Structure 1
Amino acid sequence: MSVLSILTMAIAPGVALLSYFYLKDRYDPEPISQVLKLFLFGMILVFPVMVLQHALLQGLGEDPFVFSFVASSFPEEFFKWFIIYFVIFKHTSFDEPYDGIVYAVAVSLGFATLENVIYAFLSNLHFADLMMRAFLPVSGHAMFGVMMGFHFGKARFTPERTNRHLFYAFALPFFWHGIFDYILLATKSYWVWFMAPLMCFLWLRSLWKVNRANAKSPLGRITREERIKI
């Protein structure tokens, strides 16, 4: 495979998934500039996370559970949470619950896309490997982003429960990301029997959260009221 082919296949899944979730916004799509900024922030996160993961592995060893939850899931999901909270959470463009999903997915897929490119070139991946990464790690990051963004949206628009949902915005992606990695590491020869139902669950749960976040949009209520008047 040529360098251009590998690069295209490594980038395409992240861009396709981000486009899918961006277009799921029913009422007021986010400014492209903001979405791309969060995507870029996600890419930048790869470098400090890789350094931190290397340090953690040196200190804690490579036990599958420790790697999955401490070295992989925790730093990746924490830094994504950190970026969303301090960059976009209080921004004026965050004006409906679904926006949290768009921005969190953008950060997550920015991270997953650059990580995919690095793996593709350093590990000399072939077509089948890149397709597998598209269906597993890249899709997984998108699902974790939906979880995170859904609860950021809840935190933004239910002030009485802000702290609870900010906690969920980190804790749930952290937990499921850890489970995801642990299955791949601990069930080497029969991982598909666990991963297939897990991915089905994550996708169905994510689509439910997408619909629920859209349904809670104040812009949607305004649109319905306008239709009634007409």
Structure 2
Amino acid sequence: MVSIIFASLAPSIALLCFFYLKDKYNSEPLSMVVRSFIYGVLLVFPVIVLQYAFQEEGLLLSKFLQAFVSAALFEEFFKWFILFYIFYKNEQFDQHYDGIVYGVSISLGFATMENIFYLIVFGVDQAIFRALLPVSSHALFGVVMGYYLGKAAITESRAKSKLVVLSLFLPWLLHGIYDYILHVQQYWVYIMLPFMIFLWSIALRKVKLANTPYK
């Protein structure tokens, strides 16, 4: 069990440190980052219950609905809800990059708990695969979500509402595409590799932009 917990935590902590240390301005309080990570861990439980309930009722059984609703919508909405209603409205959330820090932290908390459950069932030998795909993809969805909420926090224009909507819509869309590739493509690995490169390029660009002084 110790090896499973370590194998689940290690990639999440590494990615969280990577994005946390990318902050060029005032770093967020570690207590707030840890708190957001714990919220992400706890989010796994209502999501699992919701997914199980729909499955038992025979709903959302098609590959498309499993990818875009059961996985992407349920998971990204709950993460977005916590990020928006608990951290976005906090006084500490006062810079563009703050959104990325908290978005990544919540997402990695979720990915860590999800990873523990997965490795308990399928074995710790799946840890490298999980680190390269599910864990890192959750972090990248969190970057996109946090980027747009962070931008909304520092803008006073009418675009604020649009940015808030994009902070949920784009991670949902990317997550749905990610899961759909896993579900239906026979040669999914050949599609997933360029898609993950695409996700990383988007995320690193968002990191750079969020660190650019707002004018």
TM-score by length of 2: 0.96
2:148 is aligned, of 127, 147, 151, to 151
Let me know the Cα RMSD of the aligned residues.
1.2
1:69-218 to structure 2, matched below 5 A, reads 69-126=68-125, 129-160=126-157, 161-187=159-185, 189-216=186-213
Does structure 1 retain, via aligned residues, the 8 Å contact 2:39–2:106? yes
CA distance in 1, matches of 2:128, 2:22: 24
Mapped partners of 2:111, 2:214: distance in 1: 28
List 4+ stretches of structure 1 deviating above 4 A. Answer: none
Q: Distance in 1 between matches of 2:163 and 2:63?
A: 29
Alignment CA distance shift 1:33-1:217 (3 Å):
farther
State the Cα distance separating 1:95 from its structure 2 match: 1.6
* Distance of aligned partners of 1:76 and 1:61 in 2 relative to their CA distance in 1, 3 Å threshold: closer
CA contact (8 A) 1:100 1:151 kept: yes
Q: 1:13-48, CA deviations, whole angstroms, 9 ceiling, x for partnerless residues?
A: 111101110000011100000000000000000000
- The one-letter amino acid of 1:66's match is L
Q: Is the 8 A contact 1:46 1:111 kept in 2?
A: yes
Give the match for residue 6 of structure 2: 8
Q: Alignment identity in percent?
A: 46
Q: Which amino acid aligns with 1:104?
A: G
**In 2, are the aligned partners of 1:57 and 1:67 still within 8 Å (CA)?**
no
Contact 1:98 1:217 in 2 (8 A): no
- Say which is worse superposed, 207-216 or 153-162, in terms of deviation: 153-162
| Number of residue pairs matched by the alignment | 213
* Structure possessing the higher radius of gyration over alpha carbons: 1
Aligned counterparts of 2:23 and 2:214: Cα–Cα separation in 1: 10
- Post-superposition shift, 1:124? 2.4
The answer as to whether partners of 1:81 and 1:148 remain within 8 angstroms in 2 is yes
The CA distance in 2 between the partners of 1:144 and 1:56, in whole Å, is 24
1:176 and 1:58 mapped to 2: Cα distance? 26
Partner of 1:47: 45
Aligned residue identity for 1:140: S
